[in-house]
Structure 1
């Protein structure tokens, strides 16, 4: 069972952070070897000490491949003889020559024996080099086993996977299970008759490297699904015919890999890899940077921190690489029993404590002074044990019977340093026996300073000046973004916070990055001939940062709107928020169903006030200025009649793809957005690989696409019409079927329009009326769609043409602002026209007083 972990963020070039595997490059078409760097000695090591760390480096040998060479190895000051690592490895090769089978299934058992032999050699080397003194590693009890059967858990509802060979890790004092056991990608906490172990690494055996990589990618996706916030997943591919292995590292930037290495001739490289794995002292070293259950969040001013529990998962995107967005609603946690979840909370530090062991909490008056605490921290590892009054079944977890409670005397004794313990062990047998007991205390201790201080670091915080403390409930969004995207989103949210239709932004910060998996330069990224590149350009180094954005507003998708009024008001408020962002020269570029949120309650915001254009724009184009001013006046009057004051019901969020309007004046081949809601010209340009200038018009069409999606995918009552089911499928396929569905929906209402004499006027004319007796033909549609048909029809006619070019004159900014405010005005007037269909009593101004 994997214990909770914490998010760690180390600078990209830090030399002291553990980089168990460094490989390059970030795409599947170019692969390079592995570099492993064990951790450096603690900072309290004497300057003249001979203690140094083991370091492995890679040196390019040719353009096609890269091989590794052995660096100088130094042992820590221990009583054993100084040995070269090469000699240690060779000493474990005696008599180990395996006969591999040509048949894949028959080769599983010999391969497991070979892998376990390499693993045992690495453990012996680590022990002889005394790297395990005073520490209890994360990978303390690793073993390979043949699995070749379905795993216990189902990932995203798909059929269970069947990995050939698994690497398991028993992180408690429980013995290795005998006989068959079940394996899972996530926490093995569900009931099962057999022993349950979590999969640390999957091994796939085959003859084609492309198929091996694809299958290992499937396993990696399952691991990312089980632990959405983990940094990387490692898989081992073995070609049993060629007798070669390759180590793949899947991360947010793509996939990196080692050079193809012979299983027998390159046995030392396999041992070196496992030696690097054995240097993982904490779960964050293994890539599990957070369990997504509990968080330690710093205050906006960075001087205090608070613990938050995950209350509800709002959104999760499971990708093998890319942003992997994770959004959750979190609530303030108090020490002791969490009554809301019915469980106990226990703190852990990153080293010195056996992962999975509870540790006694210190009294609150023993907390170190605030100035002595680390302020640059976001998450802290915790463990949850089942509470007696939680109402859940009292299942006993592995290792619960082996709980060690420390006494104050033991904690005092545990402050002995590792190096002092090592020196004491080299004197006499009696002292060595005493040292063993001291080391046991060191492994189990949790110092006051480390326990009371969060552990994971962060940097590049961008905070709002309007908030100096965290609320009791908040929304946290974690996503792997390019660095410039993080800065753009933070600055944009900071500029717009508190405005109508925008989030109550608190801060955003960088938590981790994938720099240790990328080559230092493009020249060091060597493509693998097994994979053909799709283009001849340079290899892209996709450096990504795990960024956390904290906001105070809690909402849900527009698909959950209960009434037509809720959806109509939410669409209006989100467009007003989009207009507020646009008035600060920021183009959103990702209007989608996941980024428009219906708030749980009305929240107070600044009343929407359209800003006037600059004097320069007014002088350059007086006609556009006059039109803009008139649209502004009309919009304010319509909002006043609808009762939209400073009470906001919905917000537009997620600005990580936004850009400045003045920086978006040229066409680009890389466009931003969510495919299902992007405008048709954008998708057509992507399909034809042509340059395209993303503009305000694309965001406007995205709002219409979101509205149709929310109506057809509403969680309310569904209609019995077969057409509605077809439309629901069409809007998910491609832009051509989506546009056809939109036209069909609009024509449903247009076909009912008649003039004063009762004659049909045709779908092209927006005038006319629909008699109530004619609406009976729409009874098979869902109630929400039936109410919104005239609104969608009128809105579709007011949308800007998708074919006309955007203004490029000197007053282009003013003209684009006019297009935007005109669109929002038209939508508000449409809602006013059909307010009788949308619960007219809800639009009264006196019901929408400030909260």
Structure 2
């Protein structure tokens, strides 16, 4: 294959005129080129509602279409059955169809615009001036140079990589002492700090050195990791496990950067993890003069970023607080994390319990005073929210790095604007858009502390806030806030559904919505996820915190009624799971659900609510049948799992969601028993098998469980009580009568048949409630 061609499917100018050398043996390497790669026969396909990228190509041997369902299969990794390999397998499953290689020019133009046209003449690197290039590195005492290793062992390359990368940083600091960066690459091939996953051992890390480097580092510390391997597929999954911990440790982090080095082929790659995709460059051969220069440019462009110490982070959020983009500068104090889904891509859902604060006492800088002195980062990608055909505002791609003049803000109209609380409607108040806010070096010192709480937060100028009419929020009010990354074209679905069912039984009362912007350019991907926060007024806890079996079932019953209220309003939830049901600390007053069951005609006190509507659809809109979609597989209905396993398309139906409530109850009972030390060996086996994200084993397990529960009296080796066994048996029996007429043609609408189904389902549960105790003894 011609090595100097661009691998973007759409032609564009500038490839052969930039300082990035695209002809430096950067031939495209497929994901299947790794020596130990076994993904060669992977036939994963993008589902009908999951468009593939238009701008760039994927791997050569993997043709993905938008009309076929995605096949779910295990990713075969190393045979060792250790926790790290299991985590790598989960990451591999998660990013399997979301990996994208982009040519160096397009990657840098989109994500590191400071690289294109970068002037390296002020940088005094000897290797940049050598007439006959031969890659050498400084040994630890920095007195002599050594030749590049020719070993096949990964570890032999750690010190050389540390040396040549830190030489770039030192040369940059010498050339620009006024912009000195107190950062360095360090070899860190050991377990991270106690409390983190001890089996995760990154090879090298880029981190802050201003306050010294402690012997053990937390996952809050790395700016980016560097992984050394000869198998890129394996390395990508490995780095993905680091990224999951980095995102969890610094909840304001929106994207993660990483470097990869193939020690056998001397290939250097840059990797960018976003919520929608994992982007990476082809290998840059750093043993050549042009490849080494490209690597230097990439490192220097990162050093030039004012936000280097908080790279990829939303500075309005830390682990303790969130600063809202309203006119009152309202601060939320985060009291508890009710649910978090560790993931590299996808929705990355977090459910938080918060208290409304006025202005936190530690935020001693005036927000309004700082807004007049915001700094613009001329090298940062500011195109989030810009129309695809508009140029990047405030960007001069040919400005040398010695230039200290900040770019001027563009006068073009941008779609991403700040807003405040509205007092009488649901329209957001627009405001100006600012660029990436410069960070202070002292800010990064907090990453070595346990609480990870900044002295002050910075208002996110790219967020829009909308409040719901009638939402009366007061200081010290408790709220539940859901943070997630829905697809951009679906970011309003949940808000529309819940506001259309305001104060309905079994559903949350939402009070505000904050919508952010994608942290990367609009044109970089066709499927874009953006950060969204939705707050609800009810104060709730995880379903697993239920005080008794009776309280657990009542909360589920009320959530089923909430599902019915959504469905009759024209919405289908499609993601009923244990994390999406909250048990309220105190019963909330709601509108009585007339028409569902006689026992609830005058019921106004609600004890459980169904939340998280990212996956909801409007059942009144005609749509094509779909295949695999993002969901929580352990709670998926047996019908949908069987259809997806056969690689067929189908329509989601209300009874699929109702069946998910059955699996929620089973899951909750098993995990509560485990937490209380009452789980049997049979319980633990079911817990382990339900924890997988692989479709085939889950399908087989659920089939066996359905058969077992046909005879609940025969199930004796479990901690699940007899009333619950009878309940699960009767519930599962409701879903074995075959297809409902008309379901092959569309998603069914609410009617008398569906209402009767809900009523019968609830009646079975109501018959069980009185048999359950008020404690777990």
TM-score interval for Structure 1 and Structure 2 normalised by the shorter chain: 0.5 to 0.7
Secondary structure of the 1:122 match is helix
Secondary structure of the 2:207 match is strand
Distance change (3 Å), C-alpha of 1:802 and 1:118: farther
Structure 1 residue 790: Cα displacement: 3.1
Distance change (3 Å), C-alpha of 1:459 and 1:227: closer
Structure 1 residue 500: Cα displacement: 0.8
Deviation by residue 1:22-70 (Cα, 9 ceiling, x = unmatched): x97894242332655899xxxxxxxxxxxxx99544xxxxxxxxxxxx3
Contact 1:294–1:382 under 8 Å retained in 2: no
Distance change (3 Å), C-alpha of 1:295 and 1:376: farther
Deviates more, 1:245-254 or 1:827-836: 827-836
Q: Does 1:100 align with 2:36?
A: no
User: Larger relative CO (CA 8 A, sep 6+): 1 or 2?
Assistant: 1
Structure 1 residue 230: Cα displacement: 1.1
Distance 1:213 1:834 in 2: 49
Q: How many residues align?
A: 593
Distance 2:173 2:655 in 1: 61
Query: In the TM superposition, what are the counterparts of 1:713-752 in structure 2 within 5 Å?
Result: 713-715=671-673, 722-732=681-691, 734-749=698-713
The equivalent of 1:796 in structure 2 is 732
Structure 1 residue 278: Cα displacement: 1.9
The equivalent of 1:327 in structure 2 is 351
Distance 1:321 1:720 in 2: 33
The equivalent of 1:219 in structure 2 is 242
Distance 1:570 1:219 in 2: 36
Distance change (3 Å), C-alpha of 1:232 and 1:835: closer
Deviation by residue 1:289-315 (Cα, 9 ceiling, x = unmatched): 2323211124xxx43231111100111
Distance 1:334 1:30 in 2: 46
Distance 1:835 1:481 in 2: 36
Distance change (3 Å), C-alpha of 1:713 and 1:469: same
The equivalent of 1:403 in structure 2 is none
Distance 1:398 1:251 in 2: 22
Query: In the TM superposition, what are the counterparts of 1:386-465 in structure 2 within 5 Å?
Result: 455-465=459-469
The equivalent of 1:48 in structure 2 is none
Structure 1 residue 102: Cα displacement: 1.4
Distance 2:99 2:206 in 1: 23
Structure 1 residue 655: Cα displacement: 0.5
Distance change (3 Å), C-alpha of 1:729 and 1:207: closer
Q: Does 1:638 align with 2:665?
A: no
Q: Does 1:504 align with 2:497?
A: no
Structure 1 residue 836: Cα displacement: 3.8
Secondary structure of the 1:182 match is coil
The equivalent of 1:230 in structure 2 is 253
Deviates more, 1:221-230 or 1:279-288: 279-288
The equivalent of 1:487 in structure 2 is 492
Secondary structure of the 1:600 match is strand
Distance 1:503 1:382 in 2: 37
Distance 1:490 1:261 in 2: 45
Distance change (3 Å), C-alpha of 1:206 and 1:707: closer
Distance change (3 Å), C-alpha of 1:108 and 1:90: closer
Query: In the TM superposition, what are the counterparts of 1:177-216 in structure 2 within 5 Å?
Result: 181-187=214-220, 198-216=221-239
Contact 1:316–1:327 under 8 Å retained in 2: yes
Contact 2:329–2:359 under 8 Å retained in 1: no
Q: Does 1:274 align with 2:307?
A: no
Contact 1:557–1:596 under 8 Å retained in 2: yes
CA RMSD of aligned residues (A): 4.1
Structure 1 residue 569: Cα displacement: 1.4
Q: Does 1:571 align with 2:556?
A: yes
Secondary structure of the 2:528 match is coil
Contact 2:205–2:223 under 8 Å retained in 1: yes
Distance change (3 Å), C-alpha of 1:303 and 1:801: farther
Distance change (3 Å), C-alpha of 1:797 and 1:236: closer
Distance 1:211 1:721 in 2: 36
Answer with 1 or 2: which has the greater Rg: 1
Distance change (3 Å), C-alpha of 1:796 and 1:163: closer
Contact 1:314–1:327 under 8 Å retained in 2: yes
Structure 1 residue 126: Cα displacement: 4.8
Distance 1:238 1:696 in 2: 49
Residue of 463, 467, 472 corresponding to 2:471: 467
Q: Does 1:117 align with 2:167?
A: yes
The equivalent of 2:415 in structure 1 is none
Secondary structure of the 1:93 match is helix
Structure 1 residue 700: Cα displacement: 1.6
Q: Does 1:145 align with 2:186?
A: yes
Distance change (3 Å), C-alpha of 1:787 and 1:32: same
Query: In the TM superposition, what are the counterparts of 1:536-615 in structure 2 within 5 Å?
Result: 541-610=526-595
The equivalent of 1:160 in structure 2 is 199
The equivalent of 1:413 in structure 2 is none
The equivalent of 1:844 in structure 2 is none
Secondary structure of the 2:150 match is coil
Contact 1:24–1:519 under 8 Å retained in 2: no
Structure 1 residue 662: Cα displacement: 2.4
Contact 2:230–2:264 under 8 Å retained in 1: yes
Structure 1 residue 182: Cα displacement: 2.2
Structure 1 residue 728: Cα displacement: 4.2
Distance 2:620 2:740 in 1: 20
Distance 2:102 2:171 in 1: 27
Secondary structure of the 1:713 match is helix
Contact 2:479–2:536 under 8 Å retained in 1: yes
Distance change (3 Å), C-alpha of 1:729 and 1:232: closer
TM-score (structure 2 length as normaliser): 0.67
Distance 1:693 1:30 in 2: 33
Distance change (3 Å), C-alpha of 1:85 and 1:491: same
Distance 2:631 2:767 in 1: 32
The equivalent of 2:337 in structure 1 is 313
The equivalent of 2:386 in structure 1 is none
Secondary structure of the 1:199 match is coil
Give unmatched runs, 5+ long, in structure 1.
Answer: 1-22, 40-52, 58-69, 72-83, 188-197, 338-343, 355-368, 386-395, 401-445, 521-539, 611-631, 752-776, 842-851
The equivalent of 1:250 in structure 2 is 273
The equivalent of 1:827 in structure 2 is 761
Query: In the TM superposition, what are the counterparts of 1:333-348 in structure 2 within 5 Å?
Result: 333=357, 335=359, 346-347=364-365
Give unmatched runs, 5+ long, in structure 2.
Answer: 1-54, 59-97, 137-146, 376-419, 423-428, 450-454, 692-696
Deviation by residue 1:222-275 (Cα, 9 ceiling, x = unmatched): 322322441222211122343331111122122212342232513332222122
TM-score (structure 1 length as normaliser): 0.62
Distance 2:439 2:364 in 1: 5
Deviation by residue 1:798-840 (Cα, 9 ceiling, x = unmatched): 4463444445789x956x4323321232233334444541469
Structure 1 residue 666: Cα displacement: 3.6
Deviation by residue 1:443-469 (Cα, 9 ceiling, x = unmatched): xxx9xxxx8x95212445443222153
Distance 2:610 2:466 in 1: 19
Secondary structure of the 1:332 match is strand
Contact 2:123–2:175 under 8 Å retained in 1: yes
Contact 1:589–1:672 under 8 Å retained in 2: no
Contact 1:514–1:544 under 8 Å retained in 2: no
